Structure 1
Amino acid sequence: MRALQHLGLDVTGWDPVHFPEGERKSADVVLLTYVLNVIEDLSERRETLLRAWELTKSVLVVSARLRWERNQIQGTEYGDGILTQRHTFQHLYGAGELRDYVQGRQASELCRLLPASCTPSRTTRPVSVTWPVRTHLYRRERRRGCPAE
């Protein structure tokens, strides 16, 4: 959220661990970034996606860790994922699996922004995807020690 606020966007958010005092409210764009992959319980995973969709007025951005990242995670197989050495759960999605999982819950077409993300939309009008690109550029420049645009 801080990165998006730094870009001048009006954002609010909620996370049960990192931002429990935040407010869950409807918005034009709802981000569900790297959330589904850390939920061990299948019904809770499904409910989280459905709740995010209910809050979405226009576009829901869903991203998750992918299977090709398996060699970067130390841990043991557990349920449909991995229990990491840090005692966190990670479900690694296939790119098609994430798309199908999100598409199966929404009555809309998906737009794939990156391999690890997809965006169901409630509208048929074109949706600007400038803000994820700006956020990515901001993070890349910040890592290099350069000021953001």
Structure 2
Amino acid sequence: MSDKSYLAAPYRNSLSATAKAMLNHQLLGKDETHLDYGCRRGGDVERLLNAGYKSNGYDPYYFSSAATPADVVTMSYVLNVIENPEERREALLNAWSLTKKRLIISSNVRGSGIDPGKLTSLGTFTKFYNHIELKAYIESTLGIEAVKLDKDKFVVQHDGLQFKPLPYEKILEESQAIALSGWIPSMEVIIKGYCNDFKPRAGFDEVDSGEFPGRIRYYRLLAKERSLPGKTGLVRCLHIRGGIGSEQMEWAIAAIKRRNRIAEMKFHCIEQNFLSEFLGLKKFDFLDTDNVKIYR
């Protein structure tokens, strides 16, 4: 950590927001051990011990004795005060190495851009993440899914979905190979169902297994910009002939799977060189590269 990072440790009269979230989500039982990695003055440790939990702390300035592994590890607003990127990555990997079951990470989250960080009037370093950047950073460092608890809090489980973070050059190479096999839609393209006929029609109750009785269900590719291959040029909407199970639907799904595979690699890029492509997204459907979501 920065030489003055300990000055950023606040005084609290109650449990931190991270510790409260851990208890509210029932992520720590009284039969489990807990380590507060970067515990600062140890306020959470003291209050958890008083509440009957098996808690311990580690901090390079306030509690510098060797950290011991624990079932549950919390890393509360630590990443945002480490100025050196290598030290920041090392701290996250070290906290994970001490985790037996789950790691809970929180950091300052604000805005939609990429904040490089700055020095405060105290001489401490501070950085703000956005929720996309924080999730990408955790997953590209640890190679395991980070599940969102709140806008600034994620949990990583040892039995969570695993990824394979790749370096920038390898991602470019594999992306080019995937693109050679067919069209790659842009990130905002989705498959969307719709109805044209809203009046009950005899004989059509079997359409979509009865979910839309008496209505004929159609499907199309939708994009925010003109990026879809129409007959006379690029369009924003492309009808999928034949609906579910048709050859055109299979073509559309295959194209989005190719897009999702490339997006997943870029999202987990070790150097995080592609983050700007994901800013503004609220869902992470593209991380499920085997199952393409069809919006009903």
- TM-score in terms of structure 2 length: 0.36
Q: For residues 7 and 99 of structure 1, what CA distance do their matches in structure 2 show? A: 31
1:92-107 equivalent positions in 2, closer than 5 A: 92-107=128-143
Does residue 121 of the first structure (1) align with residue 165 of the second (2)?
Answer: no
Q: What SS is found at the alignment partner of 2:54?
A: coil
1:36-47 equivalent positions in 2, closer than 5 A: 36-47=79-90
Q: Compare relative contact order (CA 8 Å, sep 6+) and give the higher one, 1 or 2.
A: 1
Partner of 2:63: 19
Q: Which moved more, 1:39-48 or 1:80-89?
A: 80-89
Does residue 5 of the first structure (1) align with residue 54 of the second (2)?
Answer: no
Does residue 89 of the first structure (1) align with residue 89 of the second (2)?
Answer: no
Q: For residues 15 and 2 of structure 1, what CA distance do their matches in structure 2 show? A: 14
Q: By how many angstroms is 1:108 displaced?
A: 2.4
Partner of 2:95: 52
Q: By how many angstroms is 1:28 displaced?
A: 0.8
Q: By how many angstroms is 1:62 displaced?
A: 0.7
Q: For residues 9 and 102 of structure 1, what CA distance do their matches in structure 2 show? A: 27
Q: For residues 29 and 55 of structure 1, what CA distance do their matches in structure 2 show? A: 9
- Residue 111 of structure 1 is aligned with which of 147, 160, 178? 147
Partner of 1:62: 105
1:65 partner letter? N
Q: For residues 40 and 19 of structure 1, what CA distance do their matches in structure 2 show? A: 20
Q: How many residues align?
A: 113
- Percent identical pairs in the alignment equals 37
Q: By how many angstroms is 1:90 displaced?
A: 0.5
Q: By how many angstroms is 1:17 displaced?
A: 1.8
Q: For residues 63 and 98 of structure 2, what CA distance do their matches in structure 1 show? A: 17
Q: Deviations over 1:128-148 (max 9, x none)?
A: xxxxxxxxxxxxxxxxxxxxx
1:35 partner letter? V
Structure with greater helix share of residues: 1
2:64 partner letter? P
Partner of 2:38: none
Structure 1: gaps of 5 or more residues: 69-78, 125-149
Q: Deviations over 1:72-107 (max 9, x none)?
A: xxxxxxx92121112111011111111110011223
Q: For residues 7 and 123 of structure 1, what CA distance do their matches in structure 2 show? A: 28
1:119 partner letter? V
Larger-gyration structure (1/2) = 2
Does residue 28 of the first structure (1) align with residue 71 of the second (2)?
Answer: yes
Q: For residues 6 and 123 of structure 1, what CA distance do their matches in structure 2 show? A: 30
2:72 partner letter? V
Q: By how many angstroms is 1:123 displaced?
A: 2.2
Following TM superposition, the consecutive aligned residue runs of length 4 or more in structure 1 with deviations greater than 3 angstroms are: none
Q: For residues 148 and 120 of structure 2, what CA distance do their matches in structure 1 show? A: 28
Q: By how many angstroms is 1:42 displaced?
A: 0.2
Q: For residues 30 and 108 of structure 1, what CA distance do their matches in structure 2 show? A: 15
Q: For residues 78 and 67 of structure 2, what CA distance do their matches in structure 1 show? A: 15
